[in-house]
Structure 1
Amino acid sequence: MLLAIDVGNTNVVFALVEYGEGGHTIRTRWRIATDPRRTADEYAVWLVQLMAIEGIDRAEVSEVIIGSVVPRADHNLTVLAEKYFGVEPLFAGQGKAAWQFEIDVEQPSSLGADRALNCIAAHKLIGGDLIVVDFGTATKFEAVDFNGAYKGGIIAPGINLSLDALVGKTAKLPRIAIAAPESDSVIGRNTESQMLIGVYWGYVAMMEGLIARMKDEIGRPVKVLATGGLAVLFDEHTQVFDMVEPELTLHGLAILATQAKAT
């Protein structure tokens, strides 16, 4: 069984992946807030107990792969893999788990592991020319061509970052929850509804506008795949996505681990 660890700026996701004749299946997953100070022992106490609740013994884990955009967290996760699971972890983009696709940009080494993993998984899932949208701490738009090559993209502030800035820099605006507005009206009748309209519909307009511009620049038929925690929320009120896969990065880790075994 594979333990896939996706280290993001906000959360670390641990997933157990099983392999079968038809490919891989994400059996279960857990999420914890990202804290580079968290030790391997602290991770183990938390994770091993959660595995036990699901009836899974840690001895069943035979592989570990880590995709990380937080380098300060890498050492403790390495110790976790070696001390508590008895395996040397693979790191996405390094060694046997090096990227096996073209990164056609000015600074290939600057591509984050999460973005690269999303490109790998999207190309494997649906192929063709693609735009991959990941709603995370930042919202990323990736252009992937029909050969699976990464051609570039866009980085925008995530919706929660935008809301934090709005509330943090004003004296009287309240904290609101991110949700789809109850009405399609874009003229709010009170402060909270006006804020929600600005954040939600403003984000939809930004997303649709950028995707339209990317499609025009690519100049060929393009499919759009969305991932991240808020992808389902936005999918309710836009027709721009051809597919939503919330666990895209984890699928990318599983695919990369399979490729690494073949090298």
Structure 2
Amino acid sequence: MLLAIDAGNTNVVFALVESGEIVARWRIATDPRRTADEYAVWLSQLMQLGGHDRTAVEGVIVATVVPRALHNLQVLASKYFGTDALIAGHAPVEWGIAIDVDEPASLGADRAVNTIAAHALHAGDLIVIDFGTATTFDVVDYSGAYKGGIIAPGINLSLDALVTAAAKLPRIAIEAPTDTSVIGLNTVSQMHIGIYWGYVAMIEGLVARMKREIGRPVKVVATGGLATLFEKQTDVFDVIEADLTIQGLAMMWDRHHI
């Protein structure tokens, strides 16, 4: 069994993968100060509650965009799972894809892993939208090469900035509106409209511009925890792959062990 770890700016996702299937997943808030011992206590309890034997984990693979978190995850793998963690993008598990941008080394690990998984799962040209701390739009061509993309503030970041900068605005939950009206009659409804429908408009507008620039048929693949928030209110997504990054890590592990 494989333990795949996706360490993002907001959350660290731990997933157990067996025979290519994700059998369990858990997430914890990202904190670079969290020690391997703390991870181990939390993860061991969750594995036990789910009926998973820690000793069945034969390998660990990590993708991270938080360099300071990596060391403790490596210690977790060696101390509590008895194996050296493979780090996605580093020998011996390099990306194995063309990265056609000005600074290939600056591409986030999650975006590279998403590229690998999306190309393996879907043929043709792709736009991969990942809803995380930032919302990223990545272009993957028919050959599997990463061709560039867009980084936009995540919807939670946008809301946090609005509430922090405007003293009289309340903190609201991010949720789909109950109707499609874009004319709010009070402060809270106006905020919901601005955050939610404004974000939908951004997604649709950017995807439309990207498709025009690509100039070929494109499939749009969405992933990330908030992807389903927009699913029913826009037809811009062709498919949602909730676990794209974990799937990509499992594919990289398998490729290394064939």
Asked if Structure 1 and Structure 2 have the same fold, meaning a TM-score greater than 0.5 normalized by the shorter chain, the answer is yes
Listed one character per residue, the Cα deviations across residues 78-116 of structure 1 (whole Å, up to 9, x for unaligned) are 010001000011000001110011000000000000001
Q: Which runs of 5+ in 2 are unaligned?
A: none
Distance 1:236 1:179 in 2: 12
Distance 1:154 1:97 in 2: 26
Residue 253 of structure 1 is matched in structure 2 by: 249
Residue 126 of structure 2 is matched in structure 1 by: 130
Match of 1:113 among 106, 109, 118: 109
TM-score, length of structure 1 as denominator length: 0.97
Q: Which runs of 5+ in 1 are unaligned?
A: none
Q: Does 2:206 align with 1:239?
A: no
Listed one character per residue, the Cα deviations across residues 41-87 of structure 1 (whole Å, up to 9, x for unaligned) are 11101111111111211110001000000000111110100010000
Match of 1:226 among 208, 215, 222: 222
Distance 1:121 1:139 in 2: 18
Q: Does 2:205 align with 1:209?
A: yes
Residue 15 of structure 2 is matched in structure 1 by: 15
Code of the aligned partner of 2:169? L
Give the 3-state SS of the residue equivalent to 1:99 in structure 2.
Answer: coil
Listed one character per residue, the Cα deviations across residues 108-153 of structure 1 (whole Å, up to 9, x for unaligned) are 0000000011111111111210000000000000000000000000
Alpha-carbon RMSD:
0.6
TM-score, length of structure 2 as denominator length: 0.99
Q: Which runs of 4+ in 1 moved over 2 A?
A: none
Distance 1:157 1:8 in 2: 15
Residue 27 of structure 1 is matched in structure 2 by: 23
Listed one character per residue, the Cα deviations across residues 194-222 of structure 1 (whole Å, up to 9, x for unaligned) are 00100000000011000000000000000
Code of the aligned partner of 1:17? V
Q: How does 1:166-185 map to 2 (within 5 A)?
A: 166-185=162-181
Aligned-pair identity in percent equals 69
Residue 60 of structure 2 is matched in structure 1 by: 64
Code of the aligned partner of 2:9? N
Residue 187 of structure 1 is matched in structure 2 by: 183
Distance 2:139 2:222 in 1: 12
Distance 2:59 2:120 in 1: 21
Match of 1:150 among 146, 149, 153: 146
- The number of aligned residues is 258
Listed one character per residue, the Cα deviations across residues 238-260 of structure 1 (whole Å, up to 9, x for unaligned) are 00100001111110110111111
Distance 1:174 1:160 in 2: 14
Structure 1, 47-56 or 25-34: larger mean CA deviation = 47-56
Code of the aligned partner of 1:96? P
